[in-house]
């Protein structure tokens, strides 16, 4: 996207475009969709959890998470087992292969951030981060005010 074109876009459209570009980069680099990578990273960060909790934390449809979990289990990236305290729940955890993919993605994220912010002053980096965090807060407020808004 050219700089002139980016300046013409309303900020929400620019954020969406950046998100799409990032998703494509991750998919190309790791070979997995950003949604599946998000699931892996959540498990890496929190450890074993129920599939129901995973649905809640990710904010995805339960059927979608179930499909991802089954596919990723078939690929050897995670395992499922019944919760010994309550058989109604399924616990999900990363395998060593899933851990490697999550680490690969984390490493790629650090490299990408360094490349994207190269040449910017520390002050500019702080301003960008602060601005993005404020926008994220506003999105959260919009979602709380109207749960039907899926931003």
Per-residue pLDDT tens digits for 62-115: 999 999 999 999 999 999 999 899 888 899 999 999 999 999 988 998 999 999
pLDDT digits (tens, 9 = 90+) for 32-46: 888 899 999 999 999
Q: How many angstroms separate the CA atoms of 104 and 2, rounded?
A: 30
Q: How many angstroms separate the CA atoms of 135 and 129, rounded?
A: 10
pLDDT digits (tens, 9 = 90+) for 109-143: 899 999 999 999 999 999 999 999 999 999 889 88
Q: Residue 110 falls within a domain, yes or no?
A: yes
Sign, CA torsion 58/60/64/66: positive
52: CATH: 1.10.10.10
The domain tally of the chain equals 1
**For residue 75, what are the domain limits?**
35-119
Mean pLDDT of 46-61: 92
Q: How confident is the model at residue 59 (pLDDT cuts 50, 70, 90)?
A: confident
Residue with token string 């475009």:
17
Q: Read off the tokens for 83.
A: 């919760």
SS3 assignment, position 49: strand
- Among 76, 56, 74, residue whose Cα is nearest residue 65: 56
The larger pLDDT score, comparing residue 4 to residue 93, is at 93
Q: Residue 148 falls within a domain, yes or no?
A: no
Q: Residue 107 falls within a domain, yes or no?
A: yes
């Amino acid at each position: 996207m050219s700089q002139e074109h980016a300046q013409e876009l309303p900020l929400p459209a620019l954020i969406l475009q950046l998100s799409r570009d990032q998703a494509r980069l991750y998919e190309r680099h790791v070979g997995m969709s950003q949604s599946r990578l998000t699931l892996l990273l959540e498990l890496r960060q929190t450890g074993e959890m129920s599939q129901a909790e995973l649905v809640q934390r990710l904010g995805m449809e339960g059927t979608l998470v179930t499909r991802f979990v089954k596919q990723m289990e078939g690929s050897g990236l995670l395992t499922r087992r019944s919760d010994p305290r309550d058989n109604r729940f399924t616990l999900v955890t990363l395998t060593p292969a899933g851990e490697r993919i999550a680490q690969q993605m984390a490493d790629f994220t650090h490299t990408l951030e360094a490349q994207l912010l190269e040449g910017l002053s520390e002050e500019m980096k702080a301003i960008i981060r602060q601005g993005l965090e404020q926008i994220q807060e506003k999105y959260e407020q919009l979602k709380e005010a109207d749960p039907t808004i899926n931003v």
